[in-house]
Amino acid sequence: MYDDTVEAMMSDLNRSLVGQKPSLESMHEGDVRSYVTRDGAEVIVPKEQVDYLWDVCDDSERIRLRLPIYVRTDVTGTMGAWRVDGKIEAGIVARILGKPMFRDDSVRLYNPDLKELRKKIPDCIMILFTV
């Protein structure tokens, strides 16, 4: 019963996930810099954040990166942490923060790292709660 309750709470926390994630390139080239969450909310990404990411990425990453970047809870460690998965996403976040990669497709973040990332690109990331 406890597990069912926790899963239901986590599912409720994640209702704001994005239905279709636009590419960084489309946001940079187009007039529309936003995405819509599953619960219908529109998140507008300021041009400054798109331009910041554009400067951090190479040509291949600009095409392949989809926004927002998901930052997940990381329950694999002994203390609370966050994680960004995906070769492209993790590499970009590691570069932004000057962090080493945890694996070739994952970077682990701690609360000060998350705070710094949220300062730099708050509308380009989304927090996911996982069990």
Beta strand spans in the chain (E): 34-36, 42-44, 69-74, 81-85, 106-109, 125-128
Helix, coil or strand: residue 26: helix
pLDDT by residue for the chain (131 residues), tens only, comes to 566 676 666 566 666 677 789 999 999 998 789 998 888 889 999 999 999 999 999 999 999 999 999 999 888 766 778 999 999 999 999 999 999 887 889 999 999 999 999 999 999 999 988 76
Q: How far apart are CA 119 and CA 35, in angstroms?
A: 19
pTM across the whole model: 0.85
